[in-house]
Amino acid sequence: MPGTLVRDSLAVEVIAGATLNAAGTTNGTVKEIANPNWVSFQLVTPATITSTGNSATLNVELKGADNAAFDSGVVSYGRFAALSGTDDSQENLTRVLDAYVDKRYVRATVILGGTAPVYTGLTCHVRQPHDRRTRSVTA
């Protein structure tokens, strides 16, 4: 089904359309996971990736922690397979990493390499088993 689904607007995003444009390490947004469970982390690369000399590399690791400051009980849930090669070979890709999340907070750590890499619109969603439910209670 083409287009954006309502489900996409409710998904937790640890990287939300970020523009990453310098080699080095960047931490994504810390998000709360309501219930420990198996989740799918979905990394979506942008439609256009540019770098000088077509040598950009992308590594994304998902981490969990006991608190939002990420200074207690930090664990790694794994990494997506590293993306490298020509810019064109990295565009419009979706990668999935399934992990059991047992910490309350999660975030992504992105490591860019290469000569002047530019990833505009990089996203990483967390798909929970019941990600369309809300905490609201109705009578």
Which of these, 44, 78, 73, 48, lies nearest to 62 by C-alpha position?
78
> How many C-beta atoms surround the C-beta of residue 21 within 10 A?
13
Give the H or E element holding residue 97. strand 94-101
Residue matched to tokens 């077509």: 54
Proportion of the chain above pLDDT 90, given as a percent: 30
Beta bridge partners of 97: 41
User: 33: domain range?
Assistant: 8-127
pLDDT, position 8: 54
By three-state DSSP, how is residue 90 classified? helix
In a domain, 110, yes or no: yes
Side-chain half-sphere exposure of 112, counting CA atoms within 13 A? 25
In a domain, 133, yes or no: no
Q: How far is CA 5 from CA 8, 9, 11, in A?
A: 5, 7, 10
CA–CA dist 32, 121 (Å, integer): 22
Give the CATH number, domain containing residue 43: 2.60.120.660
pLDDT at 103 over 90: yes
138 or 21, greater pLDDT: 21
- Indicate the number of domains in the chain: 1
pLDDT in tens, 6-45: 455 567 888 887 777 778 898 989 999 877 789 999 998 8
In a domain, 134, yes or no: no
Computed over every residue of the chain, the mean pLDDT equals 81
pLDDT, position 54: 63
